[in-house]
């Protein structure tokens, strides 16, 4: 029977899971991880290596703040995809873009976008290897990124065990804080604005962590820390205990935006766009992970029944809400 419910009523995560359930990739022996399973799909390509592939559609209204230059739009379109490659521990080996723009668009605008993509791809050790252009009322860019990884070093979302240490790279909430500043006319330094407008995919960190053998599971924080924790919690059937004091807040956020501790914690947990790596490490391997990557230990993996919560500065334990940056109005 046809289901005429509007997609907005079931939300992004449920729709993805419903669509993935319809597909038949499970029967293909070359597909190691298929739709809905991880940050990237994974295909067997040789005895030693997997290819990882991801695609992401961005468009003017919801993904590119008006302050973004065309170069930054290009950079962002590549970065969101290359971040997914990073989260599998893979080395990028190509980026493709399909771009739709109106016929009246300046050539220079399109060239600047392409330059931004190429600069981001090159920064990540790869290049723009293909694409498509299309006419479209609203600027729309779909990127596709590819990576290679040794079979023994592939990192996935699955593998967290109770007792593992929870880590993130970089800061949490910086992109969300910068967006808040823009929307409220607050002047902020470039060091913060850049986190929103030109995020750095954590390629080197992802590869180094994969090589270290220390990581039990990994994903990126593009939809926000809370949402990512819940994704890992559901998949691994575990809970998380996060330490509020350990959340890595960029000093500029408390300096320019707010010094209110509750607001800082909410920015760190519930805003997206950071593109940092969130991962778990077996305690005896923490030193190995620390020796290859600047990381912040923010909590531990706990039993499923204990849920996903935060231990506040006053010692109180609160539940973390299942919310973050999602399409379709979750």
Interaction residues for its own copies, span 81-120 (CB under 8 A): 93-94, 96-101, 103-108, 110-111, 114-115, 118
* DSSP states of 239-301: EEEEEGGG----HHHHHHT---HHHHHHHHHH------EEEEE-GGGHHHHHTTS--EEEEEE
Please tell me what DSSP assigns to residue 164. Answer: P
Site for its own copies in 19-38 (CB under 8 A): 19, 22-25, 27-28, 30-31, 34-36
Site for its own copies in 35-74 (CB under 8 A): 35-36, 40-41, 43, 45-46, 49, 51, 53-59, 62
By the 10 Å C-beta count (0-12 exposed, 13-18 middle, 19+ buried), 201 is classed as buried
Site for its own copies in 133-172 (CB under 8 A): 133-138, 140, 142, 144, 146, 148
* Residue set of the binding site: 39, 54-56, 63, 84, 131-132, 157, 220, 222-223, 325
Selected binder of its own copies within 122, 161, 245, 319 (CB under 8 A): 122
Selected binder of its own copies within 187, 294, 315, 329 (CB under 8 A): 329
126 lines the binding site for its own copies (CB under 8 A): yes
The C-alpha atoms of residue 270 and residue 38 are separated, in whole angstroms, by 21
How many degrees, rounded to 5, is the angle at CA 76 between CA 54 and CA 289? Answer: 65
- Cβ atoms of 195 and 178 within 8 Å: the answer is yes
Size of the residue set binding its own copies (CB under 8 A):
80
The C-alpha atoms of residue 153 and residue 88 are separated, in whole angstroms, by 9
Whichever of 87 and 212 has its CB closer to its own copies, that residue is 87
Whichever of 12 and 261 has its CB closer to its own copies, that residue is 12
In angstroms, give the least distance from the CB of 221 to its own copies.
17
Whichever of 42 and 226 has its CB closer to its own copies, that residue is 42
By the 10 Å C-beta count (0-12 exposed, 13-18 middle, 19+ buried), 155 is classed as buried
Whichever of 100 and 307 has its CB closer to its own copies, that residue is 100
């Amino acid at each position: 029977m046809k289901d005429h419910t509007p997609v907005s009523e079931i939300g992004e995560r449920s729709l993805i899971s419903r669509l993935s359930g319809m597909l038949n990739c499970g029967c293909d022996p070359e597909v190691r991880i298929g739709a809905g399973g991880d940050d990237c799909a994974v295909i067997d390509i040789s005895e030693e290596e997997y290819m990882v592939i991801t695609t992401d559609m961005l468009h003017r209204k919801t993904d590119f703040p008006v302050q973004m230059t065309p170069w930054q739009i290009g950079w962002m379109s590549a970065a969101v995809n290359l971040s997914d490659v990073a989260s599998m521990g893979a080395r990028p080996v190509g980026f493709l873009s399909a771009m739709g723009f109106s016929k009246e668009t300046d050539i220079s605008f399109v060239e600047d976008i392409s330059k931004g993509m190429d600069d981001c791809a090159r920064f990540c050790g790869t290049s723009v290897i293909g694409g498509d252009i299309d006419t479209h009322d609203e600027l729309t860019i779909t990127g596709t990124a590819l990576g290679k990884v040794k079979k023994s070093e592939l990192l996935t979302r699955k593998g967290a065990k109770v007792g593992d240490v929870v880590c993130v790279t970089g800061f949490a909430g910086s992109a969300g804080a910068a967006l808040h500043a823009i929307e409220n006319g607050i002047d902020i330094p470039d060091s913060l604005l850049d986190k929103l407008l030109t995020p750095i995919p954590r390629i080197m960190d992802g590869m180094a962590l994969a090589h270290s053998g220390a990581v039990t599971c990994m994903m990126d924080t593009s939809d926000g820390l809370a949402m990512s924790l819940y994704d890992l919690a559901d998949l691994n059937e575990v809970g998380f205990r996060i330490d509020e004091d350990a959340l890595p807040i960029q000093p500029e956020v408390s300096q320019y935006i707010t010094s209110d501790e509750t607001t800082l914690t909410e920015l760190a947990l519930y805003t997206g766009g950071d593109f940092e790596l969130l991962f778990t490490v077996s305690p005896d391997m923490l030193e190995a992970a620390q020796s290859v990557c600047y990381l912040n230990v923010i909590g531990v993996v706990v039993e499923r029944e204990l849920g996903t919560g935060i231990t506040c500065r006053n010692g109180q334990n609160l539940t973390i809400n299942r919310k973050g940056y999602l399409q379709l109005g979750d």
